[in-house]
Structure formats: C-alpha cells, structure tokens
C-alpha cells in the first residue's frame, strides 16, 4: 500500500484524513480466541448494488472448519449507528436451516443447532442489508460517475461484510455482484460468470481459489474501460480504468507487464490467476488487493508517472498477499519488502545509481522519523493499525533488506528471498521464519542482525575522526559509536591521502574502531557504496 501522497512516497496521512479514519474505526480487533476455534475456508459474498440508494443487499456464505469443540461462531459486522449507517441482519442459516443469532456491539454471534467438534465444518449464510459507513466506498468519481470500491485495509471489511477478520485466517473468496447494466465489475480471481438477469441488472461472479487475507479481498463496480495489457508468462495482465481515461489509463498501467515479468524471474511464479490494475476511489495512493490492485483515481495522468507505484503494489502480490505477515507488528515483511523491491526494480532496469539514490532518500526519511519516534520496526505497542503506515515499516524495512543483501552476499540474498517465497507461499510468516531461511542459505547466524535492526530503536550514530602518527608516517581513522546500544556491521570508508584514494572495510561492533592508513589523510568518505543505515554524529 502507498499513502495518498504516493508521488513523494510519504507513508503517513495528512492529520485531517487520519482523524476521520480513527474516529470511524471502533471495530474490536479479532482476538486470537476467535481465530483459534475456527478456520474460514471460503467466503461467498453476494452483494446487490443499486443507483437509487446506498443501501446494499448482502447475502454471504462462509464455509467454516472447526478446530475445537464449539457451540457458536462470531463474525464481525458493523451494526447501525446514529447516522443510520451500518448493517441489519435479516436471517442466518446454518447448513441451510434457520438458526439463532444475536447482533450486538458489532459482533454477530451465530449459534450452532448442535455443538460442533474439531474437524466438523458448516456453511453459515447471513442475509443482511444497510448503508456501509466505510469499507465499501460508494461515491462519484472525478468525472461525476457513481462507483463502488471495496477498501478493506487494514480491518475495514466488517463495515459491510460479515467476516472473521483475523489477519492470519486466509480464505478463498467469491464475489457475486448484482448491479445495473452500466456497471462493469472486477474482483479477485477469475471471471466465472457475467449474465444479464433481468431488464436492469447484470450478475458478475469472480472466484479466487487461492486463500487471501481479508485485507486484500476486493471488488470494484464502475463504468470501466478494460483492456488486456499483455501477458507475463501465461498470466493475463489487465488495465481497468474509468471510461474517460481509456487511452491515458491503458498507457499508464502498461508497465505492469514488465514489472510482473521482472518479479516473476526474480522471486518466483506469480501466485494468482490474473492481474487487474484498476483505477479506483481507494483512500490510499495504491492498495494491493490480491490480483486486483486498486490505484487512486489520480494515478492516471497519461504521462507514465505510475511506474514506481505499480512496482510497489505488484511486489505486494508476492509479499503481503501471498506470504502474509502473521501478526500486524511484522508488517515490514509486507511494506519493507514492497519498498525495497521497487528500488531494486528501478536499479535493475535503470542502473545502480537508482538504487543508491533511492536508499539515500529512504535513509533521510528513516533518520527524520527516528528523531521523534524511539520505536523499533517490530512494534507490538501500536493499537491503531493505521499507525503502522510509518517510516519504520516502509523505509527502514527496506534498509533492513538492503543491509541483509550485503551481509549474506548477492547470490545468497536472492536465493533466500526465492526460498522464503517458495516455503511460505499462500501462507503466513513471522520475521523469525524469514531469518531462519536466510541463515539456511547463507550459513550465517543472523540472530544479532535481526535483533538490532528490527527490535532495537534507532541506528548507529557514528563520530568519525582522524589522527596522525608523525613518526611512522601513518594516519588513523577512528569510528566511534555514540548511541547507547552498540551495533555490529561491516563498514567501508574511502580515504584520500597524498598516495591516492583507497576504500577500506572493517567490521565494527565495539565502541571505537580504528582504520590504519599509510600517509596523511586529507578526506574520509564514510559508506561510499550506500550500504549502511547510520547517522553522522554531530556534536
Ligand atoms: Zn505497500
């Protein structure tokens, strides 16, 4: 995901937008106990849209597998609020038979007619209707046309869909959308049906058989223009844009084919059946919905400015969507990866300078953030999930990967990334899972590396000074770590003397480290290759 201000790569919302979001999200976070008892195998969301009101008619069936003896199932579904927005449940079926339920405090509790044992499964069908307060954006696009777009990230689906919204509980999903003729509908997965069902409405059915986290399930309905941009291997890549942006949008989203091919060869086979790049009304700059990426409506300019945004969102198909962070505090496994892979895409397509420039910009962002936020990358104290959209998750996460690339070596690093994807594809992972894979491929103990960069706030602050030993015609470059926690890292300096220029490398892990240099040092350039996240210490 990228924030609304995607051009500058900032990862925070403006204060005004954020306050509104904080005010509406009061859904309780799904507790481990909810997920512990049940495993959702598939959701089938049937949603009827209309043009005269914002009321949606919902009929959703969840296929649930029980993991322990249980007498009821809890769904999150937003109840009506004072403004009249929210969902009203009309009835619930358990395996086709009416069953008892209650809907209070945004929790819909469905009682099982008889207690279920571990290994049993059930189809729970919920009929409901209402006006979504959020999660489904019903609005006019910039051309004044009415549109509908899911916008679930991070936990906003329950505003209009009954879900057991635990990040780790991935499920297959069907979207069956009934809408007036002038809408075209796009969603996750493959198109299985498009039928005119009466004089006014069309039914569109998209089916995704790869399990997804709820945060990236999505459908969009708008007067779209759609074209096949090309194929990445045998995967079709589509552009779905507003009809007024037919030419500009088709052109702006075309780089997606090149990006797909790039990641496919770098990381491994794309996890889904197709990719649609969709112009939308998402509140974000881009939202990486699985196989159905939503970009902000202003991402289309006709000037080909969306390439980095596209590269970021497509990287999420591998990391975030297919390999999903098991806990929100490990979100760097999603955003740090997408941020770094975008920079690598630029490096490998437009030259090494793109990597160094990108990493220097990221470093500036991280240092600025760290001045005011003494927080580690893995921060389990965050309660408002929107606060995860910060420089630690994105830019520092990217820096962790960049430094790991050096620590493990170029070929081990990419081998490790491929193996990590292969092993956790369509599943979930924690940072320790990633560490173990990288240790396996590199043969190195990376415990300290992962600890210091992910669990310790801040970064090395280095004071660099020179001393001259007149007798021996030697100089010393002294590097001193000024922060409290002493980091362990390889460090390069380029020194200029009367004898010429040379680059020296040593491992720093103590308070003071000395480089010995022949001759008189006239200049020291720290980290000439842009390989270290550090701050120059200023007195
Ligand atoms: Zn992202």
Q: What's the 23 CA to ligand 1 centre distance in angstroms?
A: 23
Residues 400 and 273 grouped into a single domain: no
What residues does 72 pair with on adjacent strands? 111
Residues 427 and 473 grouped into a single domain: no
Cβ 521 vs Cβ 496: under 8 Å? yes
Residues 69 and 199 grouped into a single domain: yes
Q: What's the 366 CA to ligand 1 centre distance in angstroms?
A: 16
Q: Which among 247, 277, 307 is the end of a domain?
A: 277
469: in domain? yes
Cα separation, 481 vs 522, in Å, equals 22
Residues 387 and 490 grouped into a single domain: no
Three-state secondary-structure class, residue 481: strand
Q: What's the 369 CA to ligand 1 centre distance in angstroms?
A: 18
Confidence at residue 36, expressed as pLDDT on a 0 to 100 scale: 65
Here the tokens at position 268 are 């491994």
Q: Which of 191, 158, 204, 173 is nearest to 49 (CA)?
A: 204
Q: What is the CATH number of the domain that holds 424?
A: 1.10.390.10
Q: What's the 193 CA to ligand 1 centre distance in angstroms?
A: 31
Burial of 331: CB neighbours in 10 Å, binned 0-12, 13-18, 19+: buried
Residues 449 and 470 grouped into a single domain: no
Residue 93, CA atoms < 13 Å, CB-side half-sphere: 10
Q: What's the 180 CA to ligand 1 centre distance in angstroms?
A: 33
Please list the alpha-helical segments (H only) found in 228-351: 246-252, 255-266, 307-318, 332-350
Cα separation, 216 vs 177, in Å, equals 17
313: in domain? no
Strand 275-280 relative to strand 461-469, pairing: unpaired
Strand order through the sheet with 146-150 = 136-140, 146-150, 219-222, 184-187
20: in domain? no
CA angle 90-67-189, nearest 5°?
Answer: 65
441: in domain? yes
Total Cβ atoms within 10 A of residue 48: 16
Q: What's the 533 CA to ligand 1 centre distance in angstroms?
A: 21
Residues 193 and 242 grouped into a single domain: yes
Q: What's the 347 CA to ligand 1 centre distance in angstroms?
A: 19
Q: What is the DSSP letter of 302?
A: S
Q: Which helix (H) or strand (E) holds 528?
A: none
Total Cβ atoms within 10 A of residue 91: 12
Residues 465 and 450 grouped into a single domain: no
520: in domain? yes
Q: What's the 336 CA to ligand 1 centre distance in angstroms?
A: 8
State yes or no: cis peptide before 154, omega within 30 of 0: yes
The total number of residues written for the chain in this structure: 539
Cα separation, 305 vs 9, in Å, equals 13
Q: What's the 283 CA to ligand 1 centre distance in angstroms?
A: 13
Q: What's the 285 CA to ligand 1 centre distance in angstroms?
A: 9
Strands (E), 184-307: 184-187, 190-196, 201-212, 219-222, 224-232, 235-242, 275-280, 286-287, 292-296
Q: What is the CATH number of the domain that holds 119?
A: 2.60.40.1730
Strand order through the sheet with 224-232 = 224-232, 235-242, 275-280, 292-296, 286-287
Cα separation, 237 vs 251, in Å, equals 13
320: in domain? no
Q: What's the 346 CA to ligand 1 centre distance in angstroms?
A: 16
Q: How would you classify residue 464: left for phi > 0, otherwise alpha for psi between -120 and 50, otherwise beta?
A: beta
Residues 243 and 374 grouped into a single domain: no
**Structural domain of 377:** 325-454
* HEC letters along 383-441: CCHHHHCCCHHHHHHHHHHHHHHHHHCHHHHHHHHHHHHHHHCCEEECHHHHHHHHHHH
Residues 349 and 431 grouped into a single domain: yes
Confidence at residue 2, expressed as pLDDT on a 0 to 100 scale: 84
| Contacts for 351 with CB less than 8 Å, ≥ 6 apart | none
CA-derived radius of gyration, the chain: 26
Q: What's the 339 CA to ligand 1 centre distance in angstroms?
A: 7
Total Cβ atoms within 10 A of residue 525: 13
288: in domain? no
Q: Which among 277, 304, 335 is the end of a domain?
A: 277
Confidence at residue 37, expressed as pLDDT on a 0 to 100 scale: 86
Here the tokens at position 513 are 């480290």
Q: What's the 506 CA to ligand 1 centre distance in angstroms?
A: 35
Q: What's the 389 CA to ligand 1 centre distance in angstroms?
A: 9
Cβ 169 vs Cβ 88: under 8 Å? no
Domains in the chain, number: 3
Total Cβ atoms within 10 A of residue 1: 28
C-alpha dihedral sign at 423, 426, 428, 434:
positive
Here the tokens at position 220 are 């969009």
State CA 247 to chain mean position distance. 29
* ipTM over the 0.90 cut-off: yes
Q: Which among 454, 477, 494 is the end of a domain?
A: 454
Q: What's the 65 CA to ligand 1 centre distance in angstroms?
A: 31
State CA 281 to chain mean position distance. 18
Confidence at residue 7, expressed as pLDDT on a 0 to 100 scale: 34
Residues 491 and 351 grouped into a single domain: no
Here the tokens at position 487 are 């980091």
Burial of 199: CB neighbours in 10 Å, binned 0-12, 13-18, 19+: exposed
Q: How would you classify residue 420: left for phi > 0, otherwise alpha for psi between -120 and 50, otherwise beta?
A: alpha
Q: Which of 61, 69, 63 is nearest to 92 (CA)?
A: 61
Residues 191 and 228 grouped into a single domain: yes
| Contacts for 234 with CB less than 8 Å, ≥ 6 apart | none
- Tokens 């296929």 sit on residue: 63
Q: What's the 228 CA to ligand 1 centre distance in angstroms?
A: 24
Q: What is the CATH number of the domain that holds 483?
A: 2.60.40
Cα separation, 239 vs 277, in Å, equals 5
Residues 48 and 176 grouped into a single domain: yes
In tens digits, what is the pLDDT along the chain, a chain of 539 residues?
887 643 333 222 233 333 333 333 334 333 333 446 899 999 999 999 999 999 999 999 999 999 999 999 999 999 998 899 999 999 999 999 999 999 998 999 999 999 999 999 999 999 999 999 999 999 999 999 999 999 999 999 999 999 997 899 999 999 999 999 999 999 999 999 999 999 999 999 999 999 999 999 999 999 999 999 999 999 999 999 999 999 999 999 999 999 999 999 999 999 999 999 999 999 999 999 999 999 999 999 999 999 999 999 999 999 999 999 999 999 999 999 999 999 999 999 999 999 999 999 999 999 999 999 999 999 999 999 999 999 999 999 999 999 999 999 999 999 999 999 999 999 999 999 999 999 999 999 999 999 999 999 999 999 999 999 878 789 999 999 999 999 999 999 999 999 999 999 999 999 999 999 999 999 999 999 999 999 999 86
- Tokens 């069956």 sit on residue: 176
Three-state secondary-structure class, residue 281: coil
Q: What's the 51 CA to ligand 1 centre distance in angstroms?
A: 33
5: in domain? no
Cα separation, 511 vs 481, in Å, equals 5
């Amino acid at each position: 995901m990228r924030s609304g201000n995607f051009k500058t790569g900032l990862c925070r919302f403006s204060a005004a937008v954020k306050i509104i979001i904080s005010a509406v999200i009061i859904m309780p976070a799904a507790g481990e106990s909810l997920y512990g008892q049940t495993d959702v195998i598939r959701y089938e969301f049937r949603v009827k849209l209309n043009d005269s009101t914002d009321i949606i008619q919902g009929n959703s069936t969840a296929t649930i597998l029980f993991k322990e003896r249980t007498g009821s199932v809890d769904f999150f579904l937003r109840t009506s609020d004072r403004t009249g927005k929210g969902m009203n449940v009309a009835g619930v079926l358990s395996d086709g038979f009416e069953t008892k339920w209650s809907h209070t405090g945004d929790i819909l509790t469905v009682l099982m007619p008889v207690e279920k044992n571990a290994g049993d499964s059930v189809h729970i069908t919920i009929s409901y209707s209402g006006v979504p307060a959020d999660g489904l954006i019903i609005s006019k696009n910039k051309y004044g046309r009415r549109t509908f777009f899911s916008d679930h990230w991070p936990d906003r689906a329950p505003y209009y869909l009954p879900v057991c919204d635990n990040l780790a509980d991935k499920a297959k999903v069907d979207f069956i959308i009934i809408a007036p003729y002038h809408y075209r509908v796009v969603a996750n997965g493959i198109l299985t049906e498009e039928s005119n069902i009466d004089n006014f409405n069309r039914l569109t059915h998209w089916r995704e058989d790869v399990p997804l986290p709820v945060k990236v399930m999505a459908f969009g309905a708008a007067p779209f223009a759609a074209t096949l941009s090309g194929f990445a291997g045998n995967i079709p890549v589509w552009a779905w844009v507003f009809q007024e942006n037919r030419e500009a949008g088709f052109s702006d989203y075309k780089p997606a084919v090149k990006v797909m091919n790039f990641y496919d060869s770098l990381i491994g086979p794309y996890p889904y059946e197709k990719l649609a790049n969709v112009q939308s009304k998402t509140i974000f700059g881009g939202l990486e919905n699985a196989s159905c990426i939503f970009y902000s409506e202003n991402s289309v300019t006709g000037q080909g400015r969306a390439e980095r945004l596209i590269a970021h969102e497509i990287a999420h198909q591998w990391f975030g969507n297919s390999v999903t962070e098991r806990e929100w505090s490990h979100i760097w496994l999603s955003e740090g990866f997408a941020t770094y892979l975008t920079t690598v895409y630029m490096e490998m397509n437009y030259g090494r300078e793109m990597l160094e420039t990108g990493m220097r910009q990221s470093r500036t962002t991280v240092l600025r953030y760290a001045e005011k936020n003494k927080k580690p990358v893995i921060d389990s104290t965050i309660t408002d999930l929107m606060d995860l959209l910060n420089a630690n998750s994105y830019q520092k996460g990217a820096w962790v990967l960049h430094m790991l690339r050096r620590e493990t070596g170029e070929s081990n690093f990419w081998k490790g990334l491929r193996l990590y994807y292969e092993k956790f594809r369509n599943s979930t992972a924690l940072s320790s899972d990633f560490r173990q894979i990288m240790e396996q491929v590199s043969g190195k103990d990376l415990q300290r590396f992962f600890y210091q960069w992910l669990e310790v706030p801040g970064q090395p602050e280095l004071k660099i000074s020179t001393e001259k030993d007149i007798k021996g015609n030697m100089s010393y470059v002294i590097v001193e770590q000024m922060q409290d926690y002493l980091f362990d890292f390889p460090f390069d300096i380029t020194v200029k003397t009367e004898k010429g220029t040379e680059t020296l490398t040593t491992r720093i892990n103590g308070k003071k480290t000395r480089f010995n240099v022949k001759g008189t040092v006239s200049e020291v350039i720290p980290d000439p290759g842009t390989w270290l996240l550090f701050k120059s210490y200023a007195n």
